[in-house]
Amino acid sequence: MTQSVPIGQPSPEPGEVEPAITDDSRLAAMLGQTGPPVFTREEVEQIDRLIPFIAYDDGQLSIDGVSGEQLWDGRRSLLLYVPSRAVDNYRSIRDAFAQHFSVAVNCALKACYVGSVLAALRDAGAGAEIASELEWRIARSLGFAPDRTIVSGMSRQADHLQTLLPNEALLIAVDSFEEVQHIEWHARRTGARPKLMVRVNPLPPDSFFSERSKLGVGADEAYELLESVARSSHLELHGLHAHQLVRCTNPERFGELARRMGELRDELAGRAGVRVGTLDLGGGFEARYLMERAGWTIADFALAARDGLAGQDDLRVLLEPGRYVFGDAAVVLSRILGTKVKEGQHWQIAEVGSNLLPPTSDRAYPALPLRIADGQAWKRTHIADPTPTPARLYLDAMLPADAAGEGIALLGTGAYTAVRASLWNAGLPDIGFVTDGGVEIVFDREAQDAAFRALYGIDLEPVGEDVAERAQLGRQRARH
Ligand SMILES: Cc1ncc(COP(=O)(O)O)c(C=O)c1O
């Protein structure tokens, strides 16, 4: 496996601090910096090399072939999903692993609930990974078939189990004795024989999956739990499940996870006489654009798994990617509310806030200008949100000096954003998706105000345009 020439460097593991990398960012280096290296001006100008659905056509940003002007009128910020990119990401992972394995890819719904995106994935043949009763209802409403659905999660309640168990095609992951006992009790009552996967942590603990993580079973308990499921006449031990990586850009680490899973499979066969047919290797891959920017493709991960699982026969591999599929399948188009200079550093304050875009690193959401032109001056600026928190969206962005006037685009905004959004501070932008050469909006200010009313019992005062529109309507009515 050879790494192609990286545009950037692999991103650090969570919590790891990466040093400043640009000469002209001496001042910026005084700020803490985590996340991948900054996008250079060349990378911004040639963004289509990394993310083919985004390009500058005649200097104007276009997304999925739709020009900036058609996309966005600039009045309210917009979180824009691109279902075709999510589908392309799904296909890339399925095709890469299908070279070496019998494989099924179940997209982790927890990363994105937008119906049009999920429906496009379902139509393309993707399965779903769900982690709660709410997500079960989402999967059912969208028609993901039970035999294409993996149920992870913990401490499921009796009524949820009663709904799940009659669907014998489901694969249910378990990681505690109590859960197994509950499932067995319901299985005995209903006569169903659910298929279980036992969730293990095959890799040594790290900063994310530490010894104190509640997830998975400890090494000592793993065999006991596996053997108790294997012994039960009401349960079918179907596979081993692992999800232990986070934003992984390192195929070797994934290969190691796969190798350990294969060893566990062998050890289990020796001890309990059961050779499970399925290994679920989880998700945990970095968003596709950042993985490829770091010089790897998902095919390198598939090769690493092939090597790690060499000699394993009659095996079915499952994958549950979230961030890889959804991460770069949305773009935020945000107004810039204002600028600020503090101790020599330039800041642009974007309308879209950390209530939508969690500040997972100092460089979580790379910024692009909406327009580029020859002879423009570019400058380094930090992008932050207007909330009363130290949250930053992207440090050290390279942007044309006059970009703020038109607004900016932020990348990497598709996974774990809208699902965790809250109505706080600046509120939420419109949310929509690209369709048939245009944009369909699914959430707008009216929907936001209705949600606010439902949550907090307050009818919000109309603002700006609403007031003008109502006044205009009032005048028209008066004339009739
Ligand atoms: C069990 C399980 N599978 C899959 C995922 C998806 O992870 P990622 O978005 O990192 O691919 C998660 C995320 O938390 C998870 O808990």
Q: What is the pLDDT of residues 338-379, one digit of tens each?
A: 999 999 999 999 999 999 999 999 999 999 999 999 999 999
**Identity at 214, one-letter amino acid code:** K
**Residue 28, token pair as written in the block:** 């910026």
Instruction: Please give the residue that has the higher pLDDT: either 97 or 404.
Output: 97
Indicate if ligand 1 lies below 6 Å from the C-beta of 10: no
Handedness of CA 49, 55, 58, 59 (dihedral sign): negative
Kindly indicate the confidence band of residue 465, based on its pLDDT and cuts at 50, 70 and 90: low
Is ligand 1 within 6 A of the CB of residue 249?
A: no
pLDDT of residue 28: 47
| Residues in contact with 171: Cβ distance below 8 Å, sequence separation at least 6, in sequence order | 149, 150, 151, 195, 196, 197, 238, 239, 278, 280, 318
d(CA 309, CA 459): 58
Out of 105, 106, 110, mutate this one to test ligand 1's pocket (max ligand atoms within 8 Å of CB): namely 110
Amino acid at 442: V
Return the pLDDT at 471: 58
- Distance of CA 231 from the midpoint of ligand 1 (Å): 29
Tokens of residue 276, six digits? 């499970």
Predicted confidence at residue 348, as pLDDT, reads 97
Which atom belonging to ligand 1 lies closest to the Cα atom of 241? 1
pLDDT over 90 percentage in the chain: 79
Cα separation, 116 vs 278, in Å, equals 30
Band (31; pLDDT cuts 50, 70, 90): low
Contact 165, 144 (CB under 8 A): no
- The pLDDT tens digits for 280-290 are 999 999 999 99
**Higher pLDDT, residue 476 or 33:** 33
Rounded Cα distance between 111 and 322, Å, is 5
Mean pLDDT of 414-434: 97
pLDDT digit string, tens, across residues 134-143: 999 999 999 9
What does the pLDDT read at residue 88?
A: 98
* Domain 83-326 = CATH 3.20.20.10: yes
For the CA of 152, the closest atom of ligand 1 is 1
d(CA 215, CA 201) in angstroms, rounded, equals 8
Q: Kindly tell me if the per-residue pLDDT of 214 is higher than 70.
A: yes
Please state, in angstroms and rounded to a whole number, the distance separating the CA atoms of residues 301 and 252: 8
Mutate to test the pocket of ligand 1, among 106, 107, 129 (most ligand atoms within 8 A of CB): 129
Residue corresponding to tokens 């168990």 = 165
- In CATH terms, the fold of domain 39-82+329-443 is Lyase, Ornithine Decarboxylase; Chain A, domain 1 (2.40.37)
- Predicted confidence at residue 338, as pLDDT, reads 96
Contacts 24+ apart (CB under 8 A), 200-203: 200/175, 200/240, 200/241, 200/242, 200/261, 200/264, 201/242, 201/244, 202/242, 202/244, 202/257, 202/260, 202/261, 202/264, 203/244, 203/245, 203/253, 203/256, 203/257, 203/260
The protein residue with its alpha carbon nearest to ligand 1, atom 15, reads: 243
CB distance 318 to ligand 1 below 6 Å: no
Q: Are 174 and 236 in contact (CB under 8 A)?
A: no
Of the given ranges (190-194, 377-381, 433-437, 473-477), which has the lowest mean pLDDT?
473-477
Domain boundaries, the chain: 39-82+329-443, 83-326
